[in-house]
Structure 1
């Protein structure tokens, strides 16, 4: 029999972002969940899909499509939802928290899912009017207005978030100009010598840069920001680089990393390093308090991708149930990267630069814009970069995670998806197995 909900335990979740909301959904599926659940969110709107902020900024979807659940859903599930309130203090001895509205809440167990904020560089001018982050719905709405007014915008950061922000701005400015708009010119500053240097090799990054350039983005690599310059009204008018170059700008978007929102946990006296430190049950240094998602740190790692956070949610939901499974423990696993820009397909995982022990398999069709590069060690796949045709990406990632020997079918790995499927099917049939994940033999 499944355990019944705990009728006395009160669980409070601080944060109504994607992680906090997914935890609620996971708990509601478990009969042993705490019967009383309260969610406190400092944003005025219920949880929404932050992953879709870039497509929304680009004008590719309506605002309603971002919402994960309406406020009425929480009420129907018996979950108390408090929006537009920020928790300001936690009294661990009394197990009581206080919000900026003066509300006090007692808890038996507490989850900190406070997320993160844009990491702002310590350069002169960072506080000028016209400098924006790109992390939440309010940021996206602000940037939509910037794009529609036109002018010149400089995006700081040539990683995933920066490129998505830049392309979203460009498309919004192109697709919905206001009366008298000057048009929008978007530049991207990347400190590294190539875009997405943590995920892409030089060839794939070059293909990406060329495509974004054709779309109208001005890409500046090897560009280190020295200062943001303003006018006598303290309004942005340009940026200055370390090498002395200056770029005119009516607005600056900082999308060069995130900083965990760990201050609440720090004020409460929890162990905090770069973020709130947790163990493999997502428990902090206080056994009654857990942390989840971008505000937590496990074995020195902090988080910005949803894949590991979703695994954290499942572990924590099990821990918060009345009868947690003994095997519910969080462990680090590799993640794959996908770029969320319309018309550009990119899939990457594993190491970027090969070492002496890697076998490098590569395929490049410049006319079609397809590129694939695989890194194998003793027949086992360790890393891949796919640009253009990425259909095989998830399958390759699965093979890498399983540690399977792909040597026998290595000549299939660089083919397009349709041809590779045919060859892999032939290999599978040769093994007399209907399990598509078993190691395959190369067809004669």
Structure 2
């Protein structure tokens, strides 16, 4: 029975989903699309508003998007689906024996099946001064609103972290501040390059040059010693390990995430870095599942939407009693969400001795491509500027295609490469001239 037409009866199996973030909401939508499913569904969210797209917090901060555009479904949609939506409450206890949970508002709910989709929180480094007023993270709508106010007030800001989130926060602050009084934004990256987990040194330097040309002050190979504050307990700046001091009335910590595993611990589930699950997203308790950033599968945790969407597909099928092959990890590609910067990357950042390295660079257009091949198979790519070929490379990497027959055209375009692949597979077909790579 479709949830929309299901009566709220105690005879129906009661599924409770803890977490109304992107993962929990995606699961709700996947279950609502199954017409034969008989479930009573309750969703509990700690934030006061229904699920929204956290990926769009960066353009929201930059002033490129309105708040309403982030909402995934309003409360009316849940009502239409006859799904109970509880907002602004945090689950504090799970009793596995009685299958009952309790919220911080004193609400108790019994469940037959439980899904933990509690997400993550910003990781905080052991740096003195993080408790000063004016120190922020960038995780939810409240954070975006606080940073918007700080940017519009002007002054100086320091962003700690040169990964995806740090870059998006820094550029968002700069752009939001530019529209008002102006804000000087510095970024601290302890590694020798920006996005060191995704980019080689050439692409990272191109990215740094572009962001510096916009007005960002970027410090790589920079260690942060501590934050300084005034007599009122407000942050005044960041002291680097080399003694250099950066003034700041606003500091943003964006060094990564920490899975919210505490509910799993409270319930006595198997927990490591996150809540441990098997290939069906089931925890050590058969009636409890975990999904998204709060779960751990085969020693790995998750922070990108692509693997989490695959987890949703597997868990929805499992809850519906449908056959499923189970969750299997696959590589993911990275895109940067900074206006005017096109970047696409997957695979290792450094070449191994057995890698065949192909590179292309057009300084006038600002384009750069580097491919890593092993025995004719593409294992990694970094594209900056023109990223149109990125999905093509990634598709053939996942498929394990032998690209040796089109090696000379790999940097030129998909049409030329496909033509050579077709010619190799069909040697009797009419030949098509292909441009040679320089």
- Deviations along 1:312-370, one digit per CA (max 9) or x if unpaired, are 0000001111x221x33011111000000111000000111111110000001111110
Unaligned stretches of 5+ residues in structure 1: 434-439
Give the alignment's TM-score, normalised by structure 1.
0.93
* 1:414 and 2:411 matched: yes
Structure-to-structure mapping, 1:365-384, within 5 angstroms = 365-384=362-381
Aligned equivalent of 1:122: 126
Task: Give the 5 Å matches for 1:21-420.
Answer: 21-175=25-179, 177=180, 181=181, 183-321=182-320, 323-325=321-323, 327-415=324-412, 417=413, 420=414
Candidates 16, 40, 54, aligned match of 2:20: 16
Three-state SS of the structure 1 residue aligned to 2:73 is coil
Give the Cα separation in 1 of the matches to 2:226 and 2:434. Answer: 60
Instruction: Quote the offset at 1:164 in angstroms.
Output: 0.5
Which one is further off, 18-27 or 7-16? 7-16
Q: Distance in 2 between matches of 1:33 and 1:377?
A: 46
Q: CA deviation at 1:428?
A: 2.8
Structure 1 position 31, deviation (Å): 3.1
Query: C-alpha deviations, 1:151-206, integer Å up to 9, x for none?
Result: 1000000000000011111111112x1xxx3x200000000000000000000000
Q: Secondary structure at the match of 2:16?
A: strand
SS of the aligned residue for 2:12 comes to strand
In 1, distance between residues paired with 2:49 and 2:415? 45
Task: Output the CA distance in 2 between the equivalents of 1:191 and 1:158.
Answer: 8
Cα distance in 1, alignment partners of residues 425 and 226 from structure 2:
62
**In the TM superposition, what is the alpha-carbon distance from 1:246 to its structure 2 partner?**
1.1
TM-score by structure 2 length?
Answer: 0.94
Q: Is the 8 A contact 1:12 1:38 kept in 2?
A: yes
Per the TM alignment, residue 268 of structure 1 is displaced from its structure 2 partner at its CA by 1.3
Structure 1 pair 441–85 and aligned structure 2 pair: CA distance change class (3 A)? farther
| Unaligned 5+ runs, structure 2 | none
Q: CA deviation at 1:431?
A: 4.1
**C-alpha distance in 2, partners of 1:385/1:377?**
15
The aligned counterpart of 1:437 is none
Separation in structure 1 between the aligned mates of residue 307 and residue 36 of structure 2, nearest angstrom: 24
Deviation at 1:374, TM superposition (A): 0.3
Quick check: 1:427–1:442 contact (8 Å CA) kept in 2?
no
Query: 1:27 is paired with a residue of what secondary structure?
Result: helix
Cα separation, 2, equivalents of 1:94 and 1:242: 53
SS in 1 for 2:289: strand
